Amino acid sequence: MAERMVLQLPEILDRKKSLSMSHLPAQDRNFLCVPGASSLQDVQVMTDLSRKSYESLRRIESNTSITVPENFSFSSLAIQVYKIRWALLLLCLASIALTYMQWIQYSIVANIIMRYYRVSSLLVDWTSMVFMLSYSLLVFPVSFFMDIKRPRQAAVMGSVLLALGSWIKVFSLDRELFLISFVGQTIVAIAQVFILSLPARLASTWFSPEEASKVCGLGVFGAQLGTSLGFFLTPWLVQNDEKIEKIHQDLEIMYIGDAGLSTVISIFTVAVFQSQPEKPPSHIQALQRSVRATNKGYWKSLWGLVHQRDFIILVIAYGMNVGVFNSMLTLLNQIVLNYFPDSEKDAGYIGVAIIGTGLVGSVVFGFIMDTWHEYRKTAVWVYGISALTVFVFSLSLESKSKKLLYVASILMGFFMSGLQTIGYELAAELTYPEPDGPVAGIMNISTHVFGVLFTITISRIHDSLGDFAGNMAFTLLLVIGTAITALIKAELKRHSAYKEVASAAEELAELEKQIVQEKVPYLVFKTDEY
């Protein structure tokens, strides 16, 4: 080993972090190991190299809130995406779709359910609102559970509860057993709390950063697909026949179909669902794996989120948009039948038009966000257009033109559903690097609270002030939401962080290779305290 010599270190050089790479020996506060140096003349060059590594590590840590482990090697890091990720995503989408298909099943044929089970319209509305209430009450405990456990456990729990709730409804066909049917519906509602956040988890653990927006968009797509199937299939399966026995048969077919499909999904989930791949899909995921998972910061993160101004503004605006959307879907059967009596199937088809174009909107705006990253501007414009389409929808009802009503429904679905994808992505940008669980939880609680509030309030407005007043209330709420969205000051934290981390990781990998390839001895200098 070379002779010990006094060396004054640059003030910006943190000895511990500047050389925290796997091939360097341990250091303490008195000694600095300069790799690749065989004489004092080499020290300046190698100190510059150390400074570069230090700066790269600082960039990673400042952009991820992750302290890079001292023995972490960037040169040996293997990044890979696996084809099976699409199969896992498809399984999640199937679970979400079946859950949301059951969400709307009772409400879209509310008049038939009221007649068969001899219950009030409010009780039928609660079969939809129980989904919103369950999510609001359980999202944080479930999200806490998902941070402790692996995604596989959450997926299995959600799919099993979905099957259980579906089978309970099979045994509620007696006209006096609406309570049993409601219990089954409540269990399905609990299952959605586990299932709904799975696409976001898959996006971070299985997919590359470039695919994140698309995956979140497809998650919304799954929910809208299920709702669309509920609107289309339910009026087709359950028809308003004069004979109660025929309605009994229709409900039996629907219940058994739900139970059979949910059982198949549950079996596949238990058999094939995996929490994470062998190799990480991104540099950030690799760093997250290197740090021991802990839930100690969960509630601290939650507390920090509620104090972020722009995020809270987004939560209110986003909640109002989706709350209006869910409320309109819940009341759609009653709204349409008030203008077009005996048009249960039309109410279902209008729902399909809304959700079907919403599917397209979710995917289209996901691609737009991945391409241009103009989250705030796009959100304001799409929000404003959504308000306009709801206004046209209200006018088309007054005109009693079914053709105009279908056109308005198509436009309304495209923009209102598309805004849901934009809202999730904007939230991810505003709150990065906070974990996905608390962020999604707060966002979805807002939508469900507003959904219950708007459903109850506007239903009363319909009863007391008339149908047009209730429909215009939806428009007014969206206009207010547009103005609130405009108050957001967007900062692309996540997008910038992904670029910075990838760049810094590449720099560190090159530095490690440069040092290792030299294969020269270390020069150890004793440092004085100044």
Give 168 or 279, the one with higher predicted confidence: 168
Tell me how far the alpha carbon of residue 392 is from its chain's centroid.
30
Rounded mean pLDDT of 137-148? Answer: 78
Q: How confident is the model at residue 482, as a pLDDT?
A: 95
Give 171 or 240, the one with higher predicted confidence: 171
Domain borders along the chain are 84-275, 305-489
Half-sphere exposure of 9 (CA within 13 A, CB side): 22
Q: Mean pLDDT over all residues of the chain?
A: 78
pLDDT band at 142 (very low <50, low <70, confident <90, very high): confident
Just give the CATH number of 305-489. 1.20.1250.20
Kind and range of the H or E element at 411?
helix 402-431
Neighbouring residues of 338: CB distance < 8 A, sequence distance ≥ 6: 462, 467
**Model pLDDT for residues 7-29, shown as the tens digit of each residue:** 333 343 333 333 333 333 333 44
Select the CATH number that applies to the domain covering 84-275 from these four: 3.40.50.2020, 3.40.710.10, 3.40.50.1000, 1.20.1250.20.
1.20.1250.20
Q: How confident is the model at residue 14, as a pLDDT?
A: 39
Domain 84-275 identical in fold to domain 305-489 = yes
Give 75 or 356, the one with higher predicted confidence: 356
pLDDT band at 169 (very low <50, low <70, confident <90, very high): very high
| b/e burial code for range 148-178 (CB count within 10 A of at least 16 → b) | eebbbebbbbbbbbbbbbbbbbbebbeeeeb
423 closest CA partner among 185, 220, 169: 220
Q: How far apart are CA 21 and CA 198, in angstroms?
A: 34
Give 526 or 307, the one with higher predicted confidence: 307
Contact assessment for residue 364 and residue 448, using Cβ atoms and an 8 Å cutoff: no
Which range has the worst mean pLDDT, 206-210, 319-323, 345-349, 445-449?
206-210
Other beta carbons less than 10 A from residue 371's beta carbon: 9
**Model pLDDT for residues 300-319, shown as the tens digit of each residue:** 777 788 888 999 999 999 99
Q: How confident is the model at residue 526, as a pLDDT?
A: 41
Neighbouring residues of 264: CB distance < 8 A, sequence distance ≥ 6: none
Q: How far apart are CA 287 and CA 80, in angstroms?
A: 14
Please, is 404 exposed, middle or buried when counting C-beta atoms within 10 Å of its C-beta (0-12, 13-18, 19+)?
A: middle
pLDDT band at 463 (very low <50, low <70, confident <90, very high): confident
| Helix, strand or coil, per DSSP, at residue 28 | strand
Q: Is the pTM of this model over 0.75?
A: no
Rg (CA), the chain: 28
Residue 296 has pLDDT above 80, yes or no: no
**Model pLDDT for residues 209-244, shown as the tens digit of each residue:** 777 767 776 777 788 788 888 888 898 899 888 899
Q: How confident is the model at residue 104, as a pLDDT?
A: 86
